[in-house]
Amino acid sequence: MKYFGSMENDFFVHPSSVIDKGAQIGKGTNIWHFCHLMPACKIGERCNIGQNVYIDNNVVIGKGVKIQNNVSVYNGVIIEDDVFLGPSMVFTNVINPRSFIERKEEFKKTLIRKGASIGANATILCGIAIGPYAMIGAGAVVTKNVLPYALMAGNPARQTGWMSQAGVKLEFGNGNIAVCPVTGQIYKLENGIVDLAQ
């Protein structure tokens, strides 16, 4: 990673964006119009940061992450590789905010695991983890941890199925086995948990 303003920049920042000194941006990352990156954030390689995105201090973003327009990623959020954040989805970092009470020491950690996708206008309450390759539907309000490969929808969000790594709904048959029709990967459902079959 390189600091913004170095002579060897190998990422793109639109002139309308504000990148505070100290922000780390990985190679091949694109940052579009009207974004603001705080000084203690880290963004991995090959990310795409859409218009009007705010990335707070102490946010860590992995490689290959796509953040669509109008998303604020607040202090305490960690985003692993290959995550998709849909337009205008919302993170929180305090469970009981009051404008007249300072609660910066109470920020809760939120973890978005590898390959997960969060739909447009979804809300993710703080202090939870969203499992690898989970799919959060548009407008969902996620109030608790999400299992790997789970498909979540509604308010509050409830699990409505399972998704493959390729983003296709899995149908489990005999022996609790499902095959992704796109990749041919085989998945097993065991004790309420989905994983790739060995």
pLDDT digits (tens, 9 = 90+) for 81-105: 999 999 999 999 999 999 999 998 8
Q: State how far the Cα of 158 lies from the Cα of 172, in Å rounded to an integer.
A: 19
Structure tokens at 115: 């390959």
Instruction: Look at residue 1 in the predicted model and tell me its pLDDT.
Output: 46
Quote the longest CA-to-CA distance of the chain.
Answer: 59
Give the residue from 20, 29, 32, 26 showing the smallest Cα distance to 44: 26
Instruction: Look at residue 63 in the predicted model and tell me its pLDDT.
Output: 98
Q: State how far the Cα of 197 lies from the Cα of 154, in Å rounded to an integer.
A: 29
Kindly report which listed range (26-30, 56-60, 130-134, 172-176) carries the lowest average pLDDT score.
Answer: 172-176
Q: State how far the Cα of 100 lies from the Cα of 8, in Å rounded to an integer.
A: 44
What kind of architecture, by CATH, is found in domain 2-164?
3 Solenoid (2.160)
| Number of CB atoms found within 10 A of residue 37's CB | 27
Instruction: Look at residue 195 in the predicted model and tell me its pLDDT.
Output: 96
Structure tokens at 124: 């993710």
The mean pLDDT of 59-68, rounded to a whole number, is 98
Average pLDDT score, the chain: 94
Kindly report which listed range (60-64, 118-122, 194-198) carries the lowest average pLDDT score.
Answer: 194-198
* pLDDT higher than 70, residue 61: yes
Give the residue from 85, 97, 9 showing the smallest Cα distance to 53: 85
* pLDDT higher than 50, residue 38: yes
Instruction: Look at residue 165 in the predicted model and tell me its pLDDT.
Output: 98
Q: Which residue has the tokens 């029709």?
A: 181
Length of the chain: 198
Residue spans per domain, the chain: 2-164
Determine the distance from the C-alpha atom of residue 142 to the mean position of all C-alpha atoms in its chain, rounded to a whole number.
13
Q: Which amino acid is at 120?
A: A
Q: State how far the Cα of 43 lies from the Cα of 37, in Å rounded to an integer.
A: 10
Looking at the chain, the whole-number percentage of residues with pLDDT higher than 90 is: 92
Instruction: Look at residue 5 in the predicted model and tell me its pLDDT.
Output: 44
Give the residue from 190, 146, 186, 188 showing the smallest Cα distance to 166: 186
